[in-house]
Amino acid sequence: MANHFMRSLNENDNELLQHIPLRIMAVNNRELTWNDISLTSKLLGEGHFGEVRKGTIIVNGERIPSAIKILKSGADDASRQDFQQEVDIMRHVGYHPNIVNLLGVCIYQGQQYMALEMAGNGDLLKFLRKSRVLEAASLTYVNRPNFGGGRTMSTLSPVQLLRIACDVATGMDHLSSKQVIHRDLAARNVLLTDSLIAKVADFGLSRGEGIYEQTSKKAIPFRSTALEALTRRIYTTKSDVWSFGILLWEIVTIGGTPYCGMKSRTILGRLREGYRLPKPRNCEADMYVCSYVVAYFTYIENLLFVHCTTHLSATFLS
């Protein structure tokens, strides 16, 4: 149903989905040669592992856009292990239209490269915030978060917002079917294509055991992490479903900050007391119901991502 919802929006998207994914599927898991890769000077991101640059790769004689992740020279063993783990997990999950797909890998002169799908509109959080407007003339969606009493307006329609939410749920359903736990699902880790198809990103360093206990002291994203994961550092698909509920809240508030004004330790204490995010004013009622149920009754209702996609699709079709 979720896939039907996504494909039925307009004919242009149908053409896109019928053409591009076939090329992507054809190169998924491919070993690239150095001649297949072309890098630009545009830096898309960087981290402890190295950097990500805009580039292209050759597929059947045609160059297609790609984000090229480059493992820095002199990387330590831990970084090399993380890089290889990311490749392995992305190969394991395979192709899906609502995740950022692996296009191929290359080793050249001791340097490791990973080619990923490009998403022209960048991350969802920034895109939502850029869509905010002040003039009533361009208003198509209004949201009044409870905090501050302010009004947030967006050029995105409710249908577009709902489609994005459905795309994310569908992508996460695919990951969970592969026993992959994201652990950091949030609007900032979802990318949008030029046609506003949402793709779950940054799952390459997830865990594929179905349940994961974090023993390291790495920072935890308090605002989007499930209470059980915060208190016990145990992650399951249920933890990701909770995070998806927070992501829905980010969508309906047009990039609002969950638990705005609260410090991390305060959030943990309030959640233990039973506090939950307030209902954003003027959001679509059905969207809020889904957000609330998914995020805060996960363990009572035993929800899975397949339930999320079904609910969101039914909301759109109704």
Which residues participate in catalysis according to the annotation?
A: 184
Half-sphere exposure of 67 (CA within 13 A, CB side): 21
Residue 269 carries which DSSP code? H
Q: Are strands 141-143 and 152-154 parallel, antiparallel or unpaired?
A: antiparallel
Place of tokens 């999320």: 308
Q: What pairs with residue 64 in β-bridges?
A: 57
Residue 261 φ/ψ region, left for φ over 0, alpha for ψ in the -120 to 50 degree band, beta for the rest: left
**309 vs 14: CA distance, rounded Å:** 19
Ligand-binding site membership of 72 (annotated): no
CB neighbours of 62 closer than 8 A, spacing ≥ 6?
A: 23
Distances (CA, A) of 231 to 20, 135, 183, 242, 261: 43, 44, 14, 14, 21
Q: How many residues in total does the chain contain?
A: 318
Take residue 198 and report the two structure tokens written for it: 């949402």
The torsion angles phi and psi of 192, rounded to 5 degrees, stand at -120, 135
Q: What pairs with residue 191 in β-bridges?
A: 123, 199
CB 177, CB 303: distance < 8 Å: no
CB 258, CB 123: distance < 8 Å: no
Q: What's CA 270's distance to the chain center, in Å?
A: 26
Which residue blocks in the chain are alpha helix, DSSP H? 2-7, 11-27, 77-93, 124-130, 158-177, 227-232, 237-252, 264-272, 285-296, 298-301, 305-317
Please give the annotated binding residues, written as ranges: 69
Please give the annotated binding residues for ATP, written as ranges: 69
